[in-house]
Structure 1
Amino acid sequence: MNRRLALIDMGTNTFHLLVTEVDERGQLHELYKTKVPVRLGQGGISNGAIAPEASDRALKTLRDFRNTINEFGAETVRAMATSMVRNASNGDAFVKDIFKQTEIQVEVIDGAREAEFIYYGVKAAGVLDEQTAMIMDIGGGSVEFIICNQNEIFWKQSFELGAQRLMDKFFTQDPTPAGSVAAEKAYLDERLQPLTEAVAKYKPIILVGSSGTFDTLCDIDAQGKGDSSRTEKQPVASDLAIDAYYKVHHELLRKNHDERLAIPGMLEMRVDMIVLASIAVDFVLEKYKLQEIRVSAYALKEGVLHQMLAQQ
């Protein structure tokens, strides 16, 4: 008997919907996938509340998601809310509104659980092996770090240092001046102390970027080399050479908003935030002397899906 499931990841910047079918052999068949730049954190993340305009955008998107879910006839719906909702003073009211308007029951998950789901998503993408890796998932509200290999998680933590939060703090001029880059790195150095201690203990050698920013960095790198294969079908697992990453990174720092938007492979919804996110990637590579970058297109929602299937 085939079953249809819908998964919603309500991120601080982007809402994702995945509708999938599980056949009797337990194989997954993706039926529909979309992402919408809701920008739930815009205008409110720094004062700890969801702004009315952001709430309206979210509710409209979720009403659309509900219609799509109904069209596909998915019986099970799992919706996860992360950093913005868990930290917002009006998060509970927002979750009640969603249920009232869409009958979608939102699970607000804490940072540790978010990191765990991301690990299972990345593991399902097949980018982990026996070597110790550091997964980095840059959201709009939080950044998750997981030190692990394919068999286990050694350490994990979520930090409220997402790209929207960094943007509110450090994105004061465009292009970003060297002083702002240095200020962001100094801030990360101070806030990521627990990660620094964990790295000293577990010694990861590979950086695994999980979806979002990392997908876009790979898209820009590929299109810059005249490779358009990623536009037809995004691979689940990719490699990004360190020097290729730095080439893109320096281009992002050098250009202003309109110039970045013109870069082949850039997404409009990431055009400013990617600057702050890429500075964080540069910081992590440099500080922790990581030798390699791998990218997983799977993240939170795929992790939730694979956990659900494993439990059944």
Structure 2
Amino acid sequence: MRLGVLDVGSNTVHLLVVDAHQGARPLPAFSHKAELRLAAHLEDGDRLSADGEARLRSFIEDALQIAEDKGVEDLVAFATSAVRDASNGEEILERIRTETDVDIHALSGPDEARLTFLAVRRWFGWSSGRLLVIDIGGGSLEVAAGIDEDPDVAISLPLGAGRLTRDWLTADPAPADEVRKLRRHVRAEIARHVGEVARYGAPDFAVATSKTFKQLARIGGAAPSSDGPYQRRVLQHAGLTGWADKLARMPASERADLPGVSERRVPQLPAGAIVADAAMDLFGISELEVCPWALREGVILRRLDMITG
């Protein structure tokens, strides 16, 4: 069947059209995305602005027309931390449901972690053993670990690269004291949850997803995206620690010249590197393998399971 997945993220809103069938890998057929930066449209600390809502509604209207043109049979829509954490998020989603007939479900943080874990498990298979999966988004950090398709533990922390950049760093490059405070904050937050993961035993295989990890791996020498999804890409903690320090001191213009760094993610890369470095250190991971599948693919796989189950 032809399935449409509408992903309302903190930075980007993305419609992905895939040809998907039970027992087969989803094949991307069409992609339409826009950088709405919904998390930057929060007013009074936690309310999504009228402008942010209008931009989202406009994108959804375009996406519906595209989905119809591409022959989409089933559309599943979800929102992550920017809408989930907004005090008026559910109110906005209800208006959108009424006006567009699109039912966007705000995923909880742990559900994000579980669905991402499912995608990673299906990509690497049972031979990967006990998995530890780490994902850095714009608004949150997700960590999941387990031996089956449903993880034993699924954690979501407000440590997304975009959120931390907005809340903790006032300049580019940020003053050294701000970077130190951010580093302490990130490590304290993650350290509170290390025991929840460790109690289930050491992972056999540690995996990273998300654009932040992909870019950090590319900076560290991993193959470019043009080499395709089956090229093995890894991020070494030994190299990342040095890059986390360098990226915090670099101006945006220099970071933009690094291999694999997209222009729209240049501002939040230092914060993302600080989170990645802390997670690898505190969870005792020397190497992460980057998985090309993540939350969207997890949503697709879960949807197929529900349709055919």
Q: TM-score, normalised by structure 1?
A: 0.87
Other structure's SS at 2:40 match: coil
User: Which among 292, 295, 299 is matched to residue 300 of structure 1?
Assistant: 295
The answer to whether the aligner puts 1:141 opposite 2:139 as a matched pair is yes
Residue matched to 1:218: 217
2:86 is matched with which residue?
88
Separation in 1 of the partners of 2:44 and 2:162?
A: 9
Normalised to the residue count of structure 2, the TM-score between the two structures is: 0.87
Q: Which residue of 2 aligns with 1:285?
A: 280
What's the counterpart of residue 106 of structure 2? 108
**Cα separation, partners in 2 of 1:10 and 1:128, compared to 1, 3 Å:** farther
Q: Which residue of 2 aligns with 1:167?
A: 165
Q: CA, structure 1 residues 284+174, in 2 after alignment: closer, same or farther (shift >3 Å)?
A: same
CA contact (8 A) 2:22 2:305 kept: no
1:50 matched to 2:48? The reply is: yes
Conservation of the 8 A alpha-carbon contact between 1:121 and 1:302: yes
31-40 vs 298-307, greater mean Cα deviation: 31-40
Residues 236, 298 of structure 1: 8 Å contact kept: no
Computed over aligned residues only, the root mean square deviation of the Cα atoms, in angstroms, reads 2.6
Which residue of 28, 35, 45 maps to 2:26?
28
Select the residue among 253, 256, 269 that pairs with 2:251.
256
- Taking the aligned partners of 2:114 and 2:273, their CA distance within structure 1 comes to 23
Bigger mean CA offset, 142-151 vs 85-94: 142-151
1:65 to 63, 85, 94: 63
Instruction: Show the 5 A alignment for 1:120-139.
Output: 120-126=118-124, 129-139=127-137
1:14 and 1:235, CA in 2 relative to 1: closer, same or farther beyond 3 A?
A: farther
In the alignment, is the contact (CA less than 8 A) between 1:46 and 1:165 conserved in 2? no
Extract unaligned runs of 5+ from structure 1: none
Q: Kindly provide the amino acid, as one letter, of the partner of residue 211 in structure 1.
A: S
Provide closer, same or farther for how the CA distance between residues 25 and 88 of structure 1 changes in structure 2, counting only shifts above 3 A.
closer
Percent identical across equivalent pairs?
26
Structure 1 Cα separation of the partners of residues 66 and 227 of structure 2: 23
- Say which SS state the counterpart of residue 196 (structure 2) adopts: helix
The AA in structure 2 aligned to 1:166 is L
Query: Do 1:130 and 1:150's aligned partners in 2 also have CA atoms closer than 8 Å?
Result: no
| 2:194 matched residue in structure 1 | 196
Mark the CA change 1:235 to 1:148 in structure 2 (over 3 Å): closer, same or farther. Answer: same
CA contact (8 A) 1:240 1:294 kept: yes
